[in-house]
Structure 1
Amino acid sequence: MNIQPHEYKPIVMRYLNGEATHEEEAMIDAFIKQGEEQAALFNQWMEEWEANIFSTPAPAVDQAWQRLQNAIDHAEDEETSPAHTAATPSDSTPHIGRTVHMQWWHKAVAVAAIIVIIGCAAIWSFSGSTATQTYLCSAPAGSKTQVTLPDGSKVWLNGGSSLAYTNQFNNDNRRVELHGEAYFEVQKHQGKPFTVHTQGYDITVKGTKFNVSAYDNDPISTTTLMEGKVELSDGKQNLSLAPGDAVQLDKATGQLQRYATDGFADGWRSGRLMYPDITLEQFGRVLNRQYNVNVHLANRQCANMRISVMLQNNETIDEVASALTRITGHNITRNGDTLTIQ
């Protein structure tokens, strides 16, 4: 049967909604592989599906996500299991292994789902006759999400992070609330500051690029400025940052400390993580966010051990565990999504 290109659209929509049959999934796969024109059509239809999801009420979004998640899980089960080629690093830097991944369009759909559905959901609350709509954008552990705000500002969320803003967000009220880590590229609007509220302090921006790490369960929050100018205020102190500056907040003492940055604060966006001085317990939290693993310290005496780590080649969690074993001298094992340090 000869199917015209436009006849694939309803099949693609059924797939994106998690409703396609095995035969239809195979048809989509074959269609995309026909060439650039077909792949472009698939991308166009996926963008239309995303736009429709953004206008969908929150309960329906949750249902759509569940259907799509079921479809993705099924697709992963049918893919070839990941196979790794052993590689023995010659130094403390993890080496790259090789992995057989899902077909690229399955992966693209999964990413789209994270960005659109897990990434942003609408929550309604009412005060009198006025409806306030809060948009909550999040990146689950092991993933990253990019969000474009109504004023054109762009935000990249690291794993385990969330960003909230309301339907009152506009050029006169550019305020967001961050839990976790994010990199911001803020559009400049003359006389219209942009404010990031975190647990501990507010960051006021005129138009700039900066990184904020403010996870609720971390003892320290850090703001690093790449371009422009920002001002930090915790209600008691006000600090102005210049490019290359970073400020740490010790949540236990309330102390703010300024220091010169190494320029790699936003390396997590591209998979480059550099920690010249970090405790093993703190690094465990990094691994949880980057790889969605639970790190268990069976030996609490090693929690405060300080190490220097650099990840820059999209290393697998097994490669990271192997390197940590050599660096720390502790036995590190993995069972599913749990990493145990003994």
Structure 2
Amino acid sequence: MSKEEKIHELFARALTSEISEKEKATLDETLAESERLKKRFNTLDEFWNRCHPQKPSHHIIEKTDEKLAFTYRSKSRSFTNYFFRIAAIALVLISLGFAAFHFLQPPVQTELREYHTKGEIKEIELSDGTRVWLNSGSYLLAVEPFDDDMRQVRLYGEAYFEVSQDAGRPFVVHSPGLKTEVLGTTFNINSWPNNLLTEVNLYEGSVKLTPEDESIQSVMLSPGQRAQLNQERRELNVSDSDTENQAAWRNGITAFYNDELFHIASALERKFETRILVADEQAGMLKYTAEFSDEPLEKILLLLSEAKAFNYNMTEQGVLIRSAN
């Protein structure tokens, strides 16, 4: 393993709290010797902790975890831990290595640009004129200006894109488990590292979606459609999308369109920064269409449970959701 690969491995282990005392000492020494690596690691660490905040233990949730040893969510939790490690390694490799690969034969002077947000929605314009809205807590990487053949970015989180027309240079968004390729179009990608579901909503133009898992077939989307990639179930499903409220989060609205409670719970976790556990598949598979603006979490849970019944218990440490039966 090369020195650079060892640094990548240490970064990923530190992000996922799997680093030993000896490895931590090595990492601290490395960061002390390089201000550039120290700055990069601090940026990655801040982003990672926004996606995976250290949540206090909750005795009710922990006991439920133990009781659900053979349930769907136990399997999901194991898969998610594995996915966290993969996402951490991918984030580190992309951030540290993307520019290096691109610079092997650079046609023009380029640089790796990092766009990230905390507690706000940020609108940015890329070097080709493409406009991007980044949701709070999201992270976008791009080597700019783009080269003559391809425009590529890497996304962790959620973003709404208005892609500048350029028939000779496809625009490609890489997100965990999925590649989205377009020429000029308007679409939204929701792809958080702590969510097994990646969702693409298309509003104008067309996009080609290619999962990293080669056993899942690529699909083309038309306006008014959305695709949801579930990496655990190894499924890529296409359905109708809500075209009236394009990326409503840009206006401070939390919107769901025929979404499973599993997916909704993850979104509410990020919004309210509190742990939410859906304890069984019967509750998690309930689907809802709803919009919320400034309602508190308790009000949202009440309204959802009245629409389709489930039980929930709220404490200062988190929320436990169970099926009503």
TM-score of the superposed pair, with normalisation by structure 1: 0.54
Q: Is residue 2:299 matched to residue 1:319?
A: yes
Aligned residue number for residue 74 of structure 1: none
1:1-342 aligned at under 5 Å gives the runs 127=100, 133-140=111-118, 143-167=120-144, 169-170=146-147, 172-234=149-211, 236=214, 237-263=217-243, 264=245, 266-297=247-278, 299-300=279-280, 303-304=283-284, 306-324=286-304, 326-327=306-307, 328-335=309-316, 338-341=318-321
Tell whether the 8 Å contact from 2:283 to 2:310 is kept in structure 1 after alignment.
no
Residues 248 and 325 of structure 1: CA distance in aligned 2, closer, same or farther (over 3 Å): closer
Q: CA deviation at 1:195?
A: 0.8
Give 3-state SS (helix, strand or coil) of 1:189's partner: coil
* 1:118-163 per-position Cα deviation (integer Å, ceiling 9, x unaligned): xxxxx776859979743222234x5432222111211112234221
Gaps of 5+ in 2: 1-35, 43-94
Tell whether the 8 Å contact from 1:245 to 1:261 is kept in structure 2 after alignment.
yes
Tell whether the 8 Å contact from 1:156 to 1:269 is kept in structure 2 after alignment.
yes
Q: Find the aligned partners of 2:200 and 2:228 in 1 and give their Cα distance.
A: 7
* 1:172-212 per-position Cα deviation (integer Å, ceiling 9, x unaligned): 43100112221100111231211111222211111110111
Give 3-state SS (helix, strand or coil) of 1:314's partner: coil
Aligned residue number for residue 24 of structure 1: none
Residues 160 and 323 of structure 1: CA distance in aligned 2, closer, same or farther (over 3 Å): same
Letter in 1 for 2:138: S
Residues 231 and 325 of structure 1: CA distance in aligned 2, closer, same or farther (over 3 Å): closer
Between 1:312-321 and 1:151-160, the stretch displaced more is: 312-321
Give 3-state SS (helix, strand or coil) of 1:335's partner: coil
Letter in 1 for 2:146: F
Letter in 2 for 1:181: E
Q: CA deviation at 1:317?
A: 3.0
Q: Find the aligned partners of 1:329 and 1:127 in 2 and give their Cα distance.
A: 50
Letter in 2 for 1:180: G
Q: Find the aligned partners of 1:302 and 1:152 in 2 and give their Cα distance.
A: 45
Q: Find the aligned partners of 2:38 and 2:219 in 1 and give their Cα distance.
A: 42
What is the CA RMSD across the aligned residues, in angstroms? 3.6
Give 3-state SS (helix, strand or coil) of 1:257's partner: strand
Q: CA deviation at 1:287?
A: 0.7
Tell whether the 8 Å contact from 2:241 to 2:257 is kept in structure 1 after alignment.
no
Q: CA deviation at 1:268?
A: 2.0
Residues 304 and 200 of structure 1: CA distance in aligned 2, closer, same or farther (over 3 Å): same
Between 1:300-309 and 1:287-296, the stretch displaced more is: 300-309
Between 1:266-275 and 1:325-334, the stretch displaced more is: 325-334
Q: CA deviation at 1:286?
A: 0.7
Residues 325 and 333 of structure 1: CA distance in aligned 2, closer, same or farther (over 3 Å): farther
* 1:52-85 per-position Cα deviation (integer Å, ceiling 9, x unaligned): xxxxx8978999xxxxxxxxxxxxxxxxxxxxxx
Q: Find the aligned partners of 1:250 and 1:331 in 2 and give their Cα distance.
A: 25
- Kindly tell me the number of residue pairs found equivalent between the two proteins: 226
TM-score of the superposed pair, with normalisation by structure 2: 0.57
Letter in 1 for 2:266: R
Residues 257 and 331 of structure 1: CA distance in aligned 2, closer, same or farther (over 3 Å): closer
Percent identity, aligned pairs only, is: 27
Letter in 1 for 2:286: R
Residues 248 and 340 of structure 1: CA distance in aligned 2, closer, same or farther (over 3 Å): closer
Q: Find the aligned partners of 1:262 and 1:209 in 2 and give their Cα distance.
A: 14
* 1:91-131 per-position Cα deviation (integer Å, ceiling 9, x unaligned): xxxxxxxxxxxxxxxxxxxxxxxxxxxxxxxx776859979
Tell whether the 8 Å contact from 2:123 to 2:134 is kept in structure 1 after alignment.
yes
Give 3-state SS (helix, strand or coil) of 1:285's partner: helix
Q: Find the aligned partners of 2:206 and 2:222 in 1 and give their Cα distance.
A: 6
Q: Find the aligned partners of 2:39 and 2:235 in 1 and give their Cα distance.
A: 45
Q: Find the aligned partners of 2:312 and 2:233 in 1 and give their Cα distance.
A: 34
Q: CA deviation at 1:230?
A: 1.6
| Runs of 4+ displaced beyond 6 Å | 57-63, 123-126, 128-132
Give 3-state SS (helix, strand or coil) of 1:252's partner: coil
Residues 230 and 289 of structure 1: CA distance in aligned 2, closer, same or farther (over 3 Å): same
Tell whether the 8 Å contact from 2:128 to 2:145 is kept in structure 1 after alignment.
no
Tell whether the 8 Å contact from 2:209 to 2:219 is kept in structure 1 after alignment.
yes
